[in-house]
Amino acid sequence: MDFKEYSKSQLALRNGQDKVEIWVAYKSLIYDVSASRLWRKGMHYEHWAGQDLTDELKDAPHTEAVFEKFKVIGKLKTS
Ligand code: HEM
């Protein structure tokens, strides 16, 4: 599937503080977690939305299955 690409700084604006959307990147895909009560204001336990949290999943008490119910809204630009 062809996702729209977003830069790190575009993602950073969706941190739950600067814009209404709340996005999290995981393994190059960007998920919209705005509807989640667990990501209110962009905060999830000690983690903040608006960034790539791939490397942080190992600290979570859950697997990546938590992303299944969220929509992928784009892809994180690598450059
Ligand atoms: C100390 C670290 C973390 C803690 C204590 C934590 C805790 C939790 C808990 C208790 C839930 C709900 C129950 C469940 O689905 O298992 C949850 C859901 C979720 N977590 Fe985490 N988590 C952590 C880190 C992360 C990280 C790093 C990510 C992203 C890579 C993440 C993404 C999510 C998502 C997307 C959900 C689903 C939210 C929903 O269904 O509304 N979590 N987390």
C-alpha distances out from residue 31 to 58, 77, Å: 18, 14
Please report the pLDDT score of residue 78 as a whole number.
87
Tokens at residue 70, please? 């969220």
Please report the pLDDT score of residue 79 as a whole number.
67
- Ligand 1 interacting residues, C-beta cut-off 6 A: 24, 26, 33, 36, 38, 44-47, 53, 56-57, 59-62, 66-67
Tokens at residue 40, please? 């209110």
Average pLDDT, the chain: 97
In the three-class reduction of DSSP (H, G, I as helix; E, B as strand; rest coil), residue 76 is classed as strand
Q: What is the pLDDT of residues 43-70, one digit of tens each?
A: 999 999 999 999 999 999 999 999 999 9
Please report the pLDDT score of residue 2 as a whole number.
86
For the chain, the domains span: 5-76
Q: Are 16 and 42 in contact (CB under 8 A)?
A: yes
Distance, CA 44 to ligand 1 centroid (Å)? Answer: 7
| Average pLDDT rounded to a whole number, residues 3-23 | 97
- Class of CATH domain 5-76: alpha beta
| Average pLDDT rounded to a whole number, residues 21-34 | 98
Residues 6+ apart with CB under 8 A from 43: 16, 49
